[in-house]
């Protein structure tokens, strides 16, 4: 088994895709107006319209209703990225902070209120864990 993607259901695919393209610098690949993917070397962020939900099961997912998942992206320099996000992100949950497990993290909300963490490993153990 290989974990390959996470999908966000939204009522405004274009708005959320534009936000993630600007925040990550990754251009989306559009399959239809209801579905796009941002592909990174290790995983994919899929963004889909509420119109796709009934294809799986009616009412199985609701947009802008996430209270337990944090979408995480490994970045080269979280402090620099924080500066780049100013003006794009309207809800920073915290400024860059070094966590006890060795990552320097920046937590913010996307336009649908989903929590997003951009992080950079800063301790030797964290850096080794994410060595490419």
**pLDDT digits 0-9 by tens, 104-130:** 999 999 999 999 999 999 999 999 998
| Domain span including residue 84 | 67-132
- Examine the pLDDT at 37 and tell me if it is beyond 80: yes
What is the average per-residue pLDDT within 49-61?
A: 95
In the DSSP assignment, the letter for residue 4 is -
Predicted TM-score (pTM) of the model is 0.95
CATH number at residue 89: 3.10.180.10
What string of DSSP letters covers 43-68? -EEEEEEGGGHHHH-TTS--TT--SS
Same domain, 125 and 92: yes
In this structure, the answer to whether residues 78 and 129 fall within a common structural domain is: yes
Quick check: helix, strand or coil at residue 1?
A: coil
Shared domain check, 129 and 83 = yes
Domain count, the chain: 2
pLDDT tens digits, 58-90:
999 999 999 999 999 999 999 999 999 999 999
> Is the residue at 42 inside a domain?
yes
């Amino acid at each position: 088994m290989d974990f390959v993607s996470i999908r966000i259901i939204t009522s405004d695919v274009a708005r959320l895709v534009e936000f993630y393209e600007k925040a990550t610098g990754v251009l989306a690949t559009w399959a239809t107006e209801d579905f796009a993917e941002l592909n990174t070397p290790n995983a994919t962020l899929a963004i889909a319209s509420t119109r796709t939900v009934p294809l799986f099961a009616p009412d199985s997912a609701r947009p802008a209703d996430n209270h337990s998942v944090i979408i995480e992206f490994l970045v080269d320099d979280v402090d620099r990225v924080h500066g780049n996000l100013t003006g794009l992100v309207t809800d920073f949950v915290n400024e860059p902070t070094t966590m006890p497990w060795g990552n320097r993290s920046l937590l913010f909300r996307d336009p649908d209120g989903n929590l997003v963490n951009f992080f950079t490993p800063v301790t030797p153990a964290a850096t080794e864990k994410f060595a490419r």
